[in-house]
Amino acid sequence: MTGLAIKDIENYGKEKEVFLRTFLALPYGIPSHDTINRVFRYLDTAKFSESLTVWSGEILDFMDYYQVNIDGKVLRGTNPSGKKKGGLCLVSAWASEQGLSLGQVKADEKSNEKTAIPALIASLDLKDAIVSIDAIATTAEVAAQLIAKEADYILALKKNQKTAFEQVEDLFSKHQSSFEQHHWDSFGSGRIEKRVCYVYSQIGLIDALSDWAGAKTLVLVESSREKNGQIQQEKRYYLSSRLESAETFNHLVRNHWRIENHLHWQLDVCFHEDQSRIRKDNAPENMATLRKIALQALKQVQDKQSIKSRRKIAGWNDQYLLNILQNLRF
């Protein structure tokens, strides 16, 4: 692992050595970029990631229930040279309302998110959580795993569950007008978005879902987006273990995409994660954890600055940085 990012860490340390010595011993001075390189390459990924999980867990201990979004992200800059695919894929768990990273698991090169998601679920304390996942992990086994974890679920239902999807699609196409529904409209940034959520709870009539642990409710969300005269329409089906109103499900389904907008997007825009060329050994995964720790720390700051601005100010202002570091819990 070489590159600008590691050299920048060394350069920052040298420029801020007097400040850093106020709380670090540094008996041999600022480590070289080669030393920093070796630390990230061979640091135990599970142990380092655990520090983030513990910190987030302490905050969530005070919540009666919370929603956890699980989704994968490929770090595009880690693609092996000359290959279009093969970059590191990390599956992350994100507490949507609180803006907290709960953990991450690397998807094996010869596998995909299907195996990484159950491994991530197994590593987390999800009691009383509402877990939302896209269709790639919508299986009876994952549903049973979440129920065993004392969690609830909202699982996207698509054609990978062919029989169940067809039965659910047929049910809603014939009867959705008679189901409980909730309308939500949004106007802004030149875009008009409308969402209608339908809820059906007599799930025992769907034969293909009879063996799914905890399954109680079927949900359909119809959405339309209009921008610059172009209209996009979409229907999405979900299976849930909760009995909630159409209004609540409309909110929960929309909340799932916070992991894209408030985690993945900010990691790319504020930390240039997709541009990182760090590839060797454990370094890409450990650096991904470090970026999430930094993002989470910046999100705790109570001011009107953007995440990108807070990051810059922390580099300029030692007291501002100390105030951020004081909120860290490991």
Residue 190 lies in a domain: no
Confidence of residue 60 (pLDDT cuts 50, 70, 90): confident
| Count: domains in the chain | 1
Three-state DSSP at 301 gives coil
pTM for this structure? 0.85
| Residue 105: per-residue pLDDT | 87
What span, in angstroms and rounded, lies between the C-alpha atoms of 200 and 290? 43
What is the domain range of residue 31? 4-158+242-325
The model's pLDDT over 99-120, given as tens digits with 9 standing for 90+, comes to 888 888 888 765 577 888 999 9
- The answer to whether the CB of 238 falls within 8 A of the CB of 130 is no
Confidence of residue 2 (pLDDT cuts 50, 70, 90): very low
Residue 139 lies in a domain: yes
Res. 189: pLDDT tops 70: no
SS3 content of the chain, % helix, strand, coil (to 5): 45, 25, 30
- CATH number, domain of 54, equals 3.30.420.10
Q: Decide: residue 83, CB within 10 A, 0-12 exposed, 13-18 middle, 19+ buried.
A: exposed
The model's pLDDT over 152-162, given as tens digits with 9 standing for 90+, comes to 999 999 988 99
Residue 220 lies in a domain: no
Res. 84: pLDDT tops 90: no
The full length of the chain comes to 330
Q: CA distances (Å), 195 to each of 25, 190, 246, 249, 251, in order?
A: 56, 17, 11, 11, 10
| Residue 6: per-residue pLDDT | 84
Residue 37 lies in a domain: yes
| Residue 57: per-residue pLDDT | 72
Residue 52 lies in a domain: yes
Mean pLDDT taken over the chain: 87
